[in-house]
Amino acid sequence: MKIVFASTPSQEEEINGLVRYIYSNIFPNFFSDEEIRQFEDLKILHPSKDFNTLKDAFQVMTSMQTLISILESSRLAEQYEAVFNKNMATLKEFGLFFPFEFEQFLEAKCMKNPMLSIYTKADNELII
């Protein structure tokens, strides 16, 4: 007999928060607003199902956090490519569509000019 624990609602919320973080803090550093809009239409990183077990949810959260750490590093180094690919495969295994290659982020980082994006979180908010 094997006992497994179901994923919790707070884990599901954490995964959704990580997806929002990637869309608002990571993607705008590499892609244009139009490209990010297309990613939303393609449902990139949108969970298609609930995660069955605690282990599944933790693997997804860990993979997303690892990808975030790699992509937020000040200098993308090719030494991270194997780790990037491993975590990308884990996301795919759990039904999260993430169709990128490490080279795309390397190229995009070199080409992207820093500019405002509608996807980035506001630094401040006015209350009227």
The 10s digit of each residue's pLDDT in 68-106 is 999 998 788 888 999 999 999 999 999 899 999 999 888
Task: Give CB contacts under 8 A, 24+ apart, made by 76-84.
Answer: 76/102, 76/105, 76/106, 76/109, 78/102, 78/106
> What is the average pLDDT across 31-56?
86
What does the domain layout of the chain look like in residue ranges? Answer: 9-111
> What is the average pLDDT across 119-126?
60
CB 90: neighbour CB atoms within 10 A? 18
Contact 125, 29 (CB under 8 A): no
DSSP conformational letter for 73:
S
Residue 45 predicted with pLDDT over 80:
yes
